[in-house]
Amino acid sequence: MSQSITIKDIAQLLGLSKSTVSRALKDHPDISPETKRAVKEIAERLHYKPNHVAISLRHRKSRMIGLLVPNISYFFFPSVIEGIEEIVHQHGYQLMILQSNESYDREVNGIDTMLANNVEGILASVSRRTEDFSHFKNVIDRDIPIVFFDRVPEEIKADMVLVDDIRGTYDGVKHLLETGRKRIAICIGHPNLLISKNRLKGYKMALHEAGMEIKDEYIISGQSIDEVESATHQLLNQDTPPDGIFAISDLTMTGIMKSIYTNRLRIPEDIAVIGFCEEPFSTMYNPPLSAIQPMGFEIGKIATEVLFNRIQAEHSFMVTPEIHNITSRMVIRGST
């Protein structure tokens, strides 16, 4: 009972050849109805399950999509993955998830194992430490469709799906201005990432448009909750502390809120808070936060749809890559 049963077993039991069994199982017209019935019945009875590995080897196709993410912990990416899974399963594919953990080596490694496992397409969000993108060029050279999302490389020609970073930040900061805030700070992430640059750009645009000065001491950053928390602590304890703050991500938001709590500031009386923040986190705080929803679920869905379009298209490399900007939604709650 320990070995799984194969086409050969069925063939021997019925005195047929492997080929006949194989064809019978997939309703090939060359096979007589009686043979088909017999084969299918015994296959059913023995719980025959085709071996994906063998099929993958023969067809050079695996019905698997590779997903490369920096991490799946806590924020944002879980939502993206939910969106991805929905589409992937609609197509009868499986998802192979690899985490880079923000390590360049593991990212390269992950791409390698995906290729070695014959994935038919790749969804990727790059590590913040990645500055050499040749492993991705490799994928493209091998004609394997790849779609980047959220954290995208600037210099690669491929499909991209991302939130409208500039617009989202611009809207958020503008909303702070409209509610009367005069000293608005921002906390950004790793400067390597395009999203950091773009979100900072949106911040500056909004301030500039309002004729306000951009002060360097109101621009802080951090890679972890703790780093953000202490950076925020410094920010809040300077001579002219900000009266509004924009958080670039769920992670930075957490650090900021912790610092505000320990500084016993009242929200929104003392300081207003808004930023990119995914459900359900924005409503875990007290008061619930006004937020720009990055809509990870939609990003995942759209990126996967784009990917399947490429997979199904012939000569996908001929089609020019597209950039999809997802417009994020701003929800106003008690923090502004």
Q: Which residues sit at the interface with a copy of itself, rule CB under 8 A? A: 1-4, 49-54, 56-57, 62, 71-74, 78-79, 81-82, 85, 89, 94-99, 101, 106, 112-113, 115-118, 141-143, 225, 254, 257-258, 261, 280-281, 283-288
Residue with tokens 């020609």: 157
Single residue of 34, 154, 155, 269 touching DNA by CB under 7 A: 34
Q: How far is the CB of 43 from DNA (least distance, A)?
A: 10
The verdict on 26 binding DNA (CB under 7 A) reads yes
The verdict on 18 binding DNA (CB under 7 A) reads yes
- Residue 285 binding: pick among a copy of itself, DNA, none (C-beta 5-8 Å cut-off by kind): a copy of itself
Q: Which is nearer to DNA, 50 or 191 (CB)?
A: 50
Q: How far is CA 326 from the centre of its chain?
A: 13
- Residue 96 binding: pick among DNA, a copy of itself, none (C-beta 5-8 Å cut-off by kind): a copy of itself
**Terminal Cα-to-Cα distance of the chain (whole angstroms):** 64
Single residue of 12, 27, 37, 57 touching DNA by CB under 7 A: 57
Per-residue CA distances from 76 to 62, 82, 169, 184, 316 (Å)? 28, 10, 17, 25, 29
Asked if 134 and 112 count as a contact pair (C-beta separation under 8 A), the reply is no
**Which segments within the chain are labelled E, that is strand?**
64-69, 94-99, 121-124, 146-149, 159-163, 184-188, 219-221, 244-247, 272-276, 290-293, 323-326, 329-331
The verdict on 30 binding DNA (CB under 7 A) reads yes
Q: Which is nearer to DNA, 57 or 319 (CB)?
A: 57
Instruction: Find the angle CA(130)-CA(296)-CA(93) to the nearest 5 degrees.
Output: 85
Cα–Cα distance measured from residue 197 to residue 189, given in angstroms and rounded to the nearest whole number: 9
- Residue 119 binding: pick among a copy of itself, DNA, none (C-beta 5-8 Å cut-off by kind): none
- Residue 246 binding: pick among a copy of itself, DNA, none (C-beta 5-8 Å cut-off by kind): none
Which one of the spans 44-52, 97-105, 161-169, 248-256 is the region binding DNA (CB under 7 A)? 44-52
Q: Which is nearer to a copy of itself, 200 or 267 (CB)?
A: 267
Nearest alpha-carbon partner for 236 in 258, 214, 212: 258
Alpha helices in 49-76 (DSSP H): 52-59
The verdict on 92 binding DNA (CB under 7 A) reads no
Q: How far is the CB of 110 from DNA (least distance, A)?
A: 19
Q: How far is the CB of 110 from a copy of itself (least distance, A)?
A: 9
- Residue 62 binding: pick among a copy of itself, DNA, none (C-beta 5-8 Å cut-off by kind): a copy of itself
The verdict on 103 binding DNA (CB under 7 A) reads no
Residue 48: both structure tokens together: 């025959």
Task: Kindly give, in sequence order, each residue whose CB lies less than 8 Å from that of residue 325, ignoring residues fewer than 6 positions away.
Answer: 162, 163, 164, 167
- Looking at the chain, the number of H-run helices and the number of E-run strands are 12, 12
Instruction: Find the angle CA(171)-CA(175)-CA(180) to the nearest 5 degrees.
Output: 150
Q: Which is nearer to DNA, 26 or 315 (CB)?
A: 26
- Residue 15 binding: pick among a copy of itself, DNA, none (C-beta 5-8 Å cut-off by kind): DNA
The verdict on 19 binding DNA (CB under 7 A) reads yes
Q: How far is the CB of 212 from a copy of itself (least distance, A)?
A: 30
| Angle at which helices 225-236 and 250-262 cross, to 10° | 50
